[in-house]
Amino acid sequence: MRNLIICLLCSVIISGCGFSLRGNYELPASVSQLRVGSAEAHSALERALRNELKPYNVDIIDASVEGHSDVTNIYLLSDELDRRLLSLFSTGQVAEYELIYTVRYELQFANSDAQLLEFDIKREYQDDPDAVLAKSRELELVLSEMRKQAAIRIIHQISVAQHTLSNSALVTP
Write the pLDDT tens digit of every residue in 43-87: 999 999 999 998 888 888 877 776 666 788 999 999 999 999 888
Give the pLDDT band of residue 173 (cuts 50, 70, 90).
Answer: very low
Helix (H, G, I), strand (E, B) or coil at 115: strand
C-alpha–C-alpha distance, residues 63 and 53, integer Å? 16
So what's the pLDDT on residue 171?
Answer: 43
pTM: 0.76
- Is the confidence at residue 134, as pLDDT, over 90? no
Q: What does the alpha-carbon distance between residue 71 and residue 110 come to, in Å, rounded to a whole number?
A: 5
pLDDT: is 95 or 169 the higher one? Answer: 95
Task: Report strand pairing: 59-62 vs 94-108.
Answer: unpaired
Query: Mean per-residue pLDDT for 122-143?
Result: 81
SS3 2: helix
Tally of CB atoms within 10 A around 90: 6
**What confidence tens digit (pLDDT) does each residue in 10-48 have?**
887 877 666 555 555 577 777 788 889 898 888 999 999
Domains and CATH numbers, the chain: 25-80+103-120+131-171 (3.30.160.150)
Region of 144 on the Ramachandran plot (φ > 0 left; ψ -120 to 50 alpha; else beta): alpha
Average pLDDT over residues 144-150: 95
Q: What is the mean pLDDT of the chain?
A: 82
Between 161 and 115, the more confident residue is: 115
Averaged pLDDT for residues 114-122: 94
Q: Which helix (H) or strand (E) holds 35?
A: strand 33-38
H/E element holding 110? none
**Closest CA relative to residue 147, chosen from 116, 95, 106, 105:** 105
